[in-house]
Amino acid sequence: DTAVSQTPKYLVTQMGNDKSIKCEQNLGHDTMYWYKQDSKKFLKIMFSYNNKELIINETVPNRFSPKSPDKAHLNLHINSLELGDSAVYFCASSPLLQGVESSGNTIYFGEGSWLTVV
C-alpha cells in the first residue's frame, strides 16, 4: 500500500536508447511532480501536473516527455538518453498545487528510480 510508487527502481541503459519511468499515487492527490536528483544530491523540479494538465516545465530538454493519463499517474519518457541524464528521478504528489494555502499540502515522494546511462 505504498503511497507513491515508481518503477523501475533501477535502470541501466545505453546512450541513445529510449526509456520510461512509471509513477502512480494512491493518495487521491490532484498534483504530481517529477524531480531530478544529481550525484551531488541536488533536488530539482522538472515537471508538475495538476489534474492531468502540465503546470511547470522547468527548462527540461524536450527529450523528456511526461504523460499523465489520469491524475493518479504521471509517467516520464526519455528519448535519446545521454550520459548526463544519469541521476535519481523522484516522482511526488501533493493534494493541491503548492501555492494554494492549505494545512495539508505536503509533498510525498516516491522511493526514486536510479537511472544509469552507459
Partner 1 sequence: GENVEQHPSTLSVQEGDSAVIKCTYSDSASNYFPWYKQELGKGPQLIIDIRSNVGEKKDQRIAVTLNKTAKHFSLHITETQPEDSAVYFCAAHNQAGTALIFGKGTTLSVSS
Sites of contact with partner 1 (CB under 8 A): 4, 33, 40-45, 48, 55-56, 58, 90, 92, 97-101, 103, 105-112
Minimum distance, C-beta of residue 57 to partner 1, in the bound complex (Å) = 11
Taking the complex as a whole, the smallest distance from the CB of residue 102 to partner 1 amounts, in Å, to 9
* 13 vs 37 by CB, closer to partner 1: 37
* Residue 44 or 79 with smaller CB distance to partner 1: 44
Minimum CB separation of residue 15 from partner 1 in Å reads 25
Q: Which is nearer to partner 1, 14 or 39 (CB)?
A: 39
Q: Which residue from 73, 44, 69, 49 is spatially nearest to 59, judged by alpha carbons? A: 44
The backbone region for 27, taken as left when phi is positive above 0, alpha when psi lies in -120 to 50, beta otherwise, is: alpha
Least separation in angstroms between residue 13's CB and partner 1 is 20
Q: What is the DSSP letter of 117?
A: E
The residues, ordered by sequence, that sit 6+ positions from 44 with a Cβ below 8 Å of its Cβ are 35, 36, 37, 38, 58
Closest to partner 1 by CB, 3 or 15: 3
* Exposed/middle/buried for residue 30 (C-beta within 10 Å: 0-12, 13-18, 19+): middle
Radius of gyration of the chain (CA): 14
